[in-house]
Structure 1
Amino acid sequence: MRILIVDDEPAMHDSYRRSFASAASSRDDALSAMAADLFGEDAAEDDNDAISFYCVHHMQGLDAVAEVERSRGGDQPFAVAFIDVRMPPGLDGKETARRIRAADPDINIVIVTGYSDFSPVEISKVAGPADKIFYIAKPFEVAEIVQTATALAQRWEADRALKVAREQLSRQVIQLEEQAAELAANEMKAIHVANHDSLTEAPNRLAFLRALGERSKQPGRFAVGMIDLDRFKLVNDTLGHLAGDELIRAICAILQETIPAGGLVARLGGDEFGLLFEAAGEQAAEMACTRVVHACSVELKVLGHSVQAAASAGVVTAGEGDNRDPIDLIRRADLALNDAKRSGRGIARLFDESMDEGVRVRRRIETGLSQAIARD
């Protein structure tokens, strides 16, 4: 353990040497005798865990400060510095302590003096913190110096071990935070992939069904539309699938621009899109889909080729007392879309019950059951 001693009196340095030499000799003798009594002669040679001190002596403060700076740079720091207060004509003990503390924040400083040039508070202000600065009066006892050095050296070692542990813990915390951030990013990416179409980045069928289910639980009338591109297979067959993909992306952008404010456009698969938007009534919903269809009837440049795009649409509305089952709403909108396709394409059709024989049959059964119940 490295100890720094700063005093301008040669006799004091001799006192320090004798103190640490005497302590080491008596300690070694006592421990060897105790080990021999308890474990035998062989064990006595190896049983010596006491701290060994290596003392570095300097007569002036400037030399001591330079020594501390070198020791920090060479990774051989001092555990304790014993500093005299009066050291003419160089730095006094207060300034020496201040500079040593600035060079090594971890060192324990012991002011050794027989004078009261500076109060402990004054020295603590410049060389603190208070728990790393101590005082011994001259003349000192051997045991006093040795016990102080031993206690402070043990504390210094413990502080260093604690600092290393804290740094390791801090690195581990940072690593865990980085891993948590990475996991969160991966989770968000996975959620995005699970809910969005890879070609258009629009919501996919799963996201559309979830949004439709949530909207069905809320009051107010809304509309569900189904959009299908006209003669899309012809584009794929003549220009290739890359051209078809480019056309789908272009149509998706048009739909997102022309859907009523706050509406949702989702790619359900292939060349089919779903629309979800607020509608004041059936006529308003049909007009909104008609505008969307007209916007899709445009000539587009696809991979250097001119393509005449076109689309058909079916739409159904759901009010407060209507059937709001998401699957059934999509089915009805799809029936309206099929009717639009049969009627010549490039148009929007509003669903009515005549398009669904199954709905009429179910309604007749419901009416018959109601009448049967009424007649008991």
Structure 2
Amino acid sequence: MRRELHAGWLAMSLLLGSATATTSVRGEERPWSGGSAESERDRAVRDFEEGRKAQVADRLEEAEFFYLRAWARMKSYDIATNLGQVQLLLQKPASAAKYLAFGVRTVGPEIEPERLARMQALLAEAKAQVGTLRVRVTNVADAEVLVNGQRVPAEEVEHELYVEPGQHVLVIRRAGYEEAVVHVAAVAGSREEIATELKPKTATRPGTAGAPMLGEAKTKAPAAGATAKEPRSWVPAIALSAASAVGLGVAMGFTVASNKASADMRAQRSALWQAGGACIDAPVEHALACRELQRTAARADVHANAARVAYVTSGALAIAALTYVIWPGGRPARAVSLEVGPGLDAGGASIAVVGSW
């Protein structure tokens, strides 16, 4: 199919090859601007010629690249027609139909009837492979149309849209109106008219009885006899969580201290044994070492007990914070007062939390 099309229509692309240099988008004569700087028109002519060379050499992807770049710089019927032909050969019929339709629609009066007939035949070939849509908005002149989320240029909306066979979603919108969504099942060679009317968005007028002013929220008053409930305060949950984190940090610190004291105790006991001494009925020469060993052991126990207390306290505070968060609200908010403080004595350690809310 691709080779048959190429052989049949390549001559036409060559016939259209000289038009870009002298015509504008509507095929009218464009005066030479002069000057040494290369204009966008000059770049478009150069890209068009490169596209023709690539097309003649059957490098269709390269030809499409140059034609697209020329089209971005200047809208001309000959660029559009050659681009549409190449895309038709590349099996892109929907895009090809768009450019071929532009070429047929904007061709200049200087074109020979035979060339115009070939352009029309190419467009018919492309339209036979796609679905054609005609969108009309009956009450809005400048509505925006999106096909599958892609905005369609206004110039195309005024004429025809071309889509691949299959399911498509059209969105028609304009500021101040509710958007219309149309689902289309396109069939190759089909043509469908889509006529719609956009509904203006409803807006409540300021001062209307029983209606809130614009920008003003309408709230319901509590029923007779009902108690107005204050919104839940998150301060207690934050305070309890912070206290839990502090408790966890204290517990970890005491754990490290306990482990260090235990290591010191083991080192002192090992040194005492190696010296041949013992702390039961200890002789005078080992009494000092035994007293130091006892102090180290006591310090390890105090730190271990403090760590346990801190871990338990941290867990209790975390549970309290979680309970407050998930407990049903409704109680009036009160002022919050919360104090957290650690406590440590010879027999252990503690964390005190005193508060009201």
Q: How does the TM-score come out when normalised to structure 2?
A: 0.28
Which has the larger helix fraction? 1
Q: How does the TM-score come out when normalised to structure 1?
A: 0.27
